[in-house]
Chains A and B, each alone.
Chain A
C-alpha cells in the first residue's frame, strides 16, 4: 500500500505505562439483552489461560435503564460497566471502553457474538508469537439454531473481507461449510469484521481507535484494518479461533438501522487509493 500521507491522525504513544493486564475485553451494547448473557458467559472460557489477567468492560450505550439494572445483577465484580453520556454508537462505545483499562491487547466482542472456548486465547497466542501482527480476527459462524436461509446454520459468517472485481468489499466464503479447506487457511485478508477482533493497544492508540466519523457504526472496522496496515503491521485471519455471530440480532431487537451507503462513501474517500482486487488470490 502507498505510504503517502493519509487523512488519519497518528497519535503519539501515551505517557502512561501499559498495564501488565494482558487483555482488555470491550463489549459495547445498546439493549440487545437477548444474546448478551451467552456472550458474557462465553468470555472466561474463550480467554482460557489469559482470563485471570484480563479485564472485561461492558459499555452501555444508552440502553433501557430498567432492563439494564435487571440484566447486570449477579455479574462478577471483574465485569466493569461504563455508560456513555450520549448515544455514541459502536465506534464511540468501543473507544470509551478501550480507554478504561490499559491492557496490552484490546479484544472487542460485540454483544451478539459467542466465542468458543480457547478462541480468544488462540488469538492472543498468535499475537504474542508474532510482533508484526497488528490486528487479528477469528472465524465466525452463523448460529446452529438459525433457520434463516440467508444465514444458514453453522456455516461461515466471517472468514475475512476481500474485494471483488466490481470493487465491492464483501464477506468471502459466506455460507460455505466451516470445515471447507479454503476457509481454514490462515491468511492476511483485506479487512476483518468488528464483531470480534483483537488488536495491540499500541497500534490502537496510534491510530486513535475507531474513527468516530462513522457515527453509529459500519465500515469503521474496515477503516481500522486499513489504518493498522498503514502502520506497517499485519491484519490476520485465524481460522482456528471460532465463534458464533447472531448477525443483526441487536439491530433487530433495537429496531434501528445504520447508514451503510454514507459510511461506505466516507470509507472510500479516506482509503479509495489503496483499494485493490484481492479475492482472485483466495477463491
Chain B
C-alpha cells in the first residue's frame, strides 16, 4: 500500500511533526510504503522508516504532489494541515485533475465550524479531527468527521525522579523553595501570552511568593508580542525567563521535569499537545476552559480557567475565549499552596488519562480509515463498471 502524506515537517520543532512521526511510523510497521512531502523540511538526517521530501513552500509541495501522483502512483493521499491550507491543496488538485482518494487530518481550533469550510472539507473522502471537541463541531456542521485520538509517548515524556528534578533545578539555579511555572506556547495572538503575563503579575503581588516563570516560545516572532517590553511594563522581568523553541527533546523534557506547574491561557486550541506532555510528566496544568483544552482537564485532571468573556476572532469566524486573570491567578495560587504542602491532587488522574491515549489507537484509526476509503472506491468503481456494461 503506497501512502502519500503531506504535512509540516520542520524537524526543528513543529506540532504537526509530533503528530506525523508516530502515525507514519505505526503505519510503516503495518507494511505501508510512505513518502511524506515535508513542508519546512531541510533535508537533515533522520531515522524514520519512511521517506521525507523537502518542500520549501507550497509551490514546491504542490509540484511534488502533482509529480508524485503521476510518477509514483500512490494509492491514497493523506494531508495533515490546517483547514484553509487543505482547501488550497484540494483546489490545486481539482484544477490539475489529480484524482486520488484524499484523507484529511486537521484541528478545529475554535467553534463553530463555518459552513464555507464545512462544505469544502466534505470533498475529502474521509475527515479525521484531532480533538473530540473538533469532531463534535464538524458533526454539528454536517461533516461526518471521526475523532483521531492523538497519543502521548508516556515513555519519553516520563515523570522525573526526585534526583533528576534536583539536578535540573540546581543546574538552572532554582532554589528548593522556588515555584516554577512553565508555559510552552508560540508567540502569536491565539496563545494569548499577554494574559499569561497578567496572571503572573497578579500572582507576584504577594511578595512572599518565590517563583520563576519559564516561557518556551519564539520570542522574536514577527507577528508576536514584544515579550520583554511587556514583562518590564508589568514589573515581572526578573521572574520571566524566555527560551527559544526548537531545542532538542531531552532539553525540552528537562524544562517540564524541573517545573512545578504548567500554565496555558490560549484563546482556543486545536489539540494542546503541550498540555498532554505536561500531564504526562506529572505537572498540574492550568488552562483556559475552551475548545481542545477542556476535554483534557475536565473534570479532575487539571484546572480550568473560566473565560472572562468570549469574542469573535477578528481574523476569522470562530470564537475566542479570554481567560479570566482573577480566576487564573486564584487557581495558580491554589496549585502553589498545594505544592508547598506536597499535595498533587490531579496528578494521578492526569497521568492515567495520558497513558490511555496510546498511539496504537491513532494508527489503528487512520489505517482503518484508509482501508475503508479504498474499499469504498473499489466498490464504486466496480458498480460503475457494471452499470457501464448494462
Contact = CB atoms under 8 A, between A and B. Distances in A.
B121 to A, nearest CB: 27
A280 interface: yes
B317 interface: no
Contact of A280 (B44, B47, B56, B71): B71
A166 B60 contact: yes
Interface stretch (B61-69, B90-98, B273-281): B61-69
Interface string B44-55: 110100011111
A164 interface: yes
Given A165-B55, A165-B64, A165-B67, A280 B72 contact: yes
A283 B51 contact: yes
Interface stretch (A175-183, A184-192, A241-249): A175-183
B35 interface: yes
Contacts of B52: 283
A234 B171 CA distance: 57
B67 A277 contact: yes
A198 B26 CA distance: 42
A277 B55 CA distance: 13
Interface string A86-128: 0000000000000000000000000000000000000000000
A32 B174 CA distance: 53
Given A165-B63, A280-B71, A280-B72, A180 B45 contact: yes
A240 interface: no
Interface residues of B, number: 18
Contact of A176 (B45, B54, B55): B45
A283 B56 CA distance: 16
A205 interface: no
Interface in B12-49: 35, 43-45, 47
A279 interface: yes
Nearest to B63: A165
A81 to B, nearest CB: 41
Chain A interface, >50% SS class? loop
A175 B45 CA distance: 7
A180 B47 CA distance: 8
Contacts of A176: 44-45
A279 B45 contact: no
Contacts of B47: 180
Given A165-B63, A175-B45, A280 B54 contact: no
Contacts of B71: 280
Contacts of B51: 280, 283
Given A165-B55, A280-B35, A280-B53, A177 B60 contact: no
B44 A165 contact: no
A280 B45 contact: no
Nearest to B72: A280
Given A164-B54, A165-B55, A177 B45 contact: yes
B68 A280 contact: yes
A277 B53 CA distance: 12
A175 to B, nearest CB: 7
Interface string A249-283: 00000000000000000000000000001011001
A164 B55 CA distance: 9
B64 A280 contact: yes
Interface in A223-242: none
A280 B53 CA distance: 6
Contacts of B55: 165
Contacts of A279: 53
B53 A175 contact: no
B361 to A, nearest CB: 30
A166 B56 contact: yes
Given A280-B64, A280-B68, A165 B45 contact: no
A177 to B, nearest CB: 6
Given A165-B67, A280-B67, A283-B51, 16 more contacts: A165-B55, A165-B60, A165-B64, A166-B56, A166-B60, A175-B44, A176-B44, A176-B45, A280-B51, A280-B64, A280-B71, A280-B72, A283-B43, A283-B52, A283-B53, A283-B54
9 contacts: A165-B53, A165-B55, A165-B67, A174-B43, A280-B67, A280-B71, A283-B51, A283-B53, A283-B54
Interface of A: 164-166, 173-177, 180, 277, 279-280, 283
Across the A-B interface, the 4 shortest Cβ-Cβ residue pairs: A176-B45, A165-B64, A165-B60, A283-B51
